[in-house]
Amino acid sequence: MLRVIFLAVLVMAGLAGLGFWFLTVPDRIEPSQIAALTEGDLQNGERIFWAGGCTSCHAAPKSEGDDRLKLVGGVELVTPFGTFVAPNISQDNKDGIGEWALADFANAMQRGVSPDGRHYYPSFPYASYARMKLSDIADLFAYLKTLPDVGGAAPDHQLGFPFNIRRGLGLWKLLYLSDQKVIALDGADGPASRGQYLVEGPGHCGECHTPRDPIGGPDTSNWLAGAVAAEGKGKIPNITSGEGGIGEWQAKDIAYYLETGFTPDFDTAGGAMVEVQQNMAKLPAEDREAIAAYLKSVPARANGY
């Protein structure tokens, strides 16, 4: 009898392991979708580059001026799950992404999968980039090709068990990785629609401004309602029109803040928002106005922290 029970347990464990393995297989974009893309548009690629704030994580800490375009990585994000380190994404063939094909880049951006088939950690905000247009990703890739190649590999992540087991991220992706819009807007066109794309996609604003559940997934029912900082210290503000948010700001105030860093009451951007604002200032005015229009359309929520 014990032998039968033992064998049954082994079979169940084997089936569970097999199920886990298949559920966590890295998912990739269909090659035909990549093949259909045209040569990247550099001007739009630069626009997406600043919208995405690539320098904020991938330039060396405290870089200024042209050094912000040297994407050597090294910025550390200290979280309850461990310390994540932004990698070198310069054009260096050895330490960066100089040898990547567009398919490698697109799968990293939208599926969180490395060229060698490993899951990336969602400290790389691919859960937002999954909402991007593939054409914009191709344009961004083309623009990155124009930036300097800088040698030097960033340090590895510092993670303990079980967070150092990447395979399990396949389950996380099943729960949180989606190309669907977060909220529904009344109008399908207009500035707010463009703003939605920028905020929910390349701008990845929800990654910081939305509270997370115990396993690090965004609580979209409190979209942009503010959150405890990922590092566990400080709070990221509510940017909805709800209590504690920016309800008293007009759309023009938001656009002006993104351009200059000045709030309606003459305060200035602080903390991590300083670099975000500097990136947003490089966008065309119409993009900042679109972001403002979208934020005024987001359902009001009380502070999410």
pLDDT (tens digit per residue) in 154-182: 999 999 988 888 888 999 999 999 999 99
- How many whole angstroms from its chain centre is CA 180? 15
**pLDDT for 52 beyond 90:** yes
209-225 residue pLDDT tens? 999 998 889 999 999 99
Asked if pLDDT for residue 12 goes beyond 60, the answer is no
Query: Which segment of 19-33, 36-50, 82-96, 103-117 scores lowest on mean pLDDT?
Result: 19-33
pLDDT, average across residues 48-69: 92
Residue 8 confidence (pLDDT): 55
Q: For residues 250 and 293, what is the distance between their CA atoms, to the nearest angstrom?
A: 9
**pLDDT for residue 7:** 55
**Cα angle: 266, vertex 272, 276; to 5 degrees:** 75
Element (H, E) at 79: strand 76-79
Dump the DSSP string for 223-266: TTS-EE-TTSSSEEPP-SSSTTTTTT--HHHHHHHHHHSB-TTS
**pLDDT(94) > 70:** yes
- For residue 276, give the 3-state DSSP assignment: helix
In the chain, the percentage of residues whose pLDDT exceeds 90 is: 70
DSSP E strands in the chain: the ranges are 76-79, 82-85, 227-228, 235-236
Q: What is the pLDDT of residue 291?
A: 98
Give residue 228's identity as a one-letter amino acid code: V
Q: Are 166 and 93 in contact (CB under 8 A)?
A: no
Return the bridge partners of 158, or none. 83
Cβ atoms of 145 and 91 within 8 Å: the answer is: yes
- In terms of CATH architecture, what is 181-305? Orthogonal Bundle (1.10)
Please report the pLDDT score of residue 271 as a whole number: 85
Render pLDDT for 238-290 as a digit per residue (tens, 0 to 9): 999 988 899 999 999 999 999 999 999 888 888 889 999 999 999 999 999 99
Dihedral pair phi/psi, residue 8, rounded to 5° = -65, -40
Residue 258 CA from chain centroid, whole number: 19
Does residue 74 contact residue 61 with C-beta atoms inside 8 Å? yes
pLDDT at 54: 96
Q: Is residue 218 reached through a cis peptide bond, with omega within 30 degrees of 0 on the bond before it?
A: no
pLDDT of residue 59: 93
Exposed / middle / buried, residue 289 (Cβ in 10 Å: 0-12, 13-18, 19+): buried
Tell me what the mean pLDDT of segment 140-152 comes to. Answer: 95
pLDDT tens, position by position, 103-141: 999 999 999 999 999 999 999 999 999 999 999 999 999
Among 13, 6, 24, smallest CA distance to 174 is for 24
3-state secondary structure of 1: coil
| Confidence at residue 168, expressed as pLDDT on a 0 to 100 scale | 86
* Residues 69/89, Cβ–Cβ less than 8 Å: no
pTM here is 0.90
